[in-house]
Amino acid sequence: MEELNKICDAILDYIKSSQSKLIYELWFQDIELLSLTDTEAVVGINYSVKKRFLETKYKPILDDAFKSILGFEIDIKIVLTENADNPEPISISPVPVRENKPVKEESATEQINEPSIISRYTFDNFVVGESNKFVHAACVAVTKDIINESISKTYNPLFIWGHSGLGKTHLLCAITNEIKKKNKNAKIIYKKGEDFTNELISCLQNKTMPQFRDKYRSVDILLIDDIHFIAGKESTQEEFFNTFNKMHDDQKQIILTSDRPPKDIKTLEERLVTRFEWGIIAEINPPSFELRAAIIKKKAEELSITIDNDIVNFLAEKLQSNIRQIEGAIKKIAAISSLTATPITMDMCKRCVADFISGTVPVSVMCDKIIHCVAEKYNVSVEDIKSSKRNKEITNARHIAVYLMKEMTNMTQTSIGDYLDKDHATINFSLKKIKDSIKESKFLESEISELIQKIKS
């Protein structure tokens, strides 16, 4: 993987120096080199529009860059990368446009900013286990309602919540793809909470709110991914509230995802929380060992690699954070195996996943990482955490940093105290404080496990 990254960096440097900044940033800067043999390079890119342009207009630039860096000609295959946070451009069904308004042609840039549906994410390739079977069943039921055009909806709204990387976006895409497959004319909008907000702000600025309302209120199904993003944004919440009510009254389906339950979304208006609770709230839990093993097998099959059972078990044991991490590891194993033309052995896999697993990182590096991530999350500085300042935000961040150092390293309380220049009693107090708070707040628990994932990544 390191080798691939190095080659990719060299290729990007080459393109950067030969093209304008705009062209480079728009089309090339996000490419990834996924695999390389002596005849073929697989290049990943995060949007289908970019993929199309790279395959058509910009292919000679890529050919030239590879030839210069590698020293020989190579076939370049361009594929979409699996980056759930950057879904590829959407194929939203046509939304009625007023007769007298000219239909604005979408430029490539606008399409890039427009979130959409990853066609690869389907129900078929979603592996079901104990931790996600309820959410899965709810999604299937909702999809059936839409396909059968049922008037009464089983779950409306369907609110899915769970930590990052557990399959929320996958399920929303699966619903959309399934409906599109069965009913090409279904009017569906899939939006990231962030994009919904940005679109709304720009409509407010451009005084095009009527079109915005028409667009959202005329759909049959509205999916908003990561709805927590609208928290604290008053005008967005207001508009969403109105859209929600109108759609709900008209028996239109609404599906929302979030990394926490509605009541834990800070500064989400009470009336919105209540609305979200009208339907069903389904939690997606971290995968069990069995589900992790099943997912590893499925992903290996998708990448056309074979992994022995004892290696599958080893990986399922070690890769516990989330499914995105599992996917990353399997891809890395596949890339190294193909790049070095070596079979997939236990030793090779151990090396591949070493950096995915905590405990292999030196303690000091881990502590620095913990403090850095906590400081960033709670908007304080690293120095603040290490200081003796006692304001509320800083003390809270310090307590969490101490708790994570205890959880994520094998340090004793004394050595944590030494590291932060605090006495044993202070460390003890921080640990107790966070342990107690976690018992009372699921939200804190979820924030902490998110931090752990971030620190490990």
- Within a 10 A sphere around the Cβ of 439, how many other Cβ atoms? 10
CB contact at 8 A, 130 and 274: no
Residue 337 makes contact with ligand ADP by CB under 6 A:
no
Q: Which residue has the tokens 């990482």?
A: 369
The site partner of 165 among Mg ion, ligand ADP, none (C-beta below 5 to 8 Å per kind) is: ligand ADP
Least separation in angstroms between CB 295 and Mg ion:
16
Q: Which is nearer to ligand ADP, 119 or 211 (CB)?
A: 119
CB contact at 8 A, 44 and 60: no
Interaction with Mg ion in 61-100: which residues (CB under 5 A)? Answer: 84
Task: Round to whole Å and give the CA distance between 269 and 256.
Answer: 16
Q: Which residue has the tokens 């979200």?
A: 276
Task: Round to whole Å and give the CA distance between 237 and 234.
Answer: 5
Least separation in angstroms between CB 172 and Mg ion:
8
Least separation in angstroms between CB 186 and Mg ion:
22
Two structure tokens written together for 436: 């107690």
Task: Round to whole Å and give the CA distance between 299 and 293.
Answer: 10
Least separation in angstroms between CB 225 and Mg ion:
6
Interaction with ligand ADP in 60-99: which residues (CB under 6 A)? Answer: 82, 84
Interaction with ligand ADP in 115-174: which residues (CB under 6 A)? Answer: 121, 125-127, 132, 164-170
CB contact at 8 A, 58 and 46: no
Q: For residue 356, what are the CA distances in angstroms to 60, 77, 312, 361, 453?
A: 36, 28, 15, 10, 10
Least separation in angstroms between CB 449 and ligand ADP:
13
Q: Which is nearer to ligand ADP, 16 or 297 (CB)?
A: 297
Q: Which is nearer to ligand ADP, 325 or 413 (CB)?
A: 325
Planar angle of CA 162, 87, 349, nearest 5 degrees: 70
Interaction with ligand ADP in 313-332: which residues (CB under 6 A)? Answer: 323-324, 327
Residue 169 makes contact with Mg ion by CB under 5 A:
yes
Q: Which is nearer to Mg ion, 321 or 430 (CB)?
A: 321
Q: Name the phi and psi angles at 189, rounded to 5.
A: -125, 125
The site partner of 121 among ligand ADP, Mg ion, none (C-beta below 5 to 8 Å per kind) is: ligand ADP
Which residues of this protein are in contact with ligand ADP, per CB under 6 A?
82, 84, 121, 125-127, 132, 164-170, 295, 323-324, 327
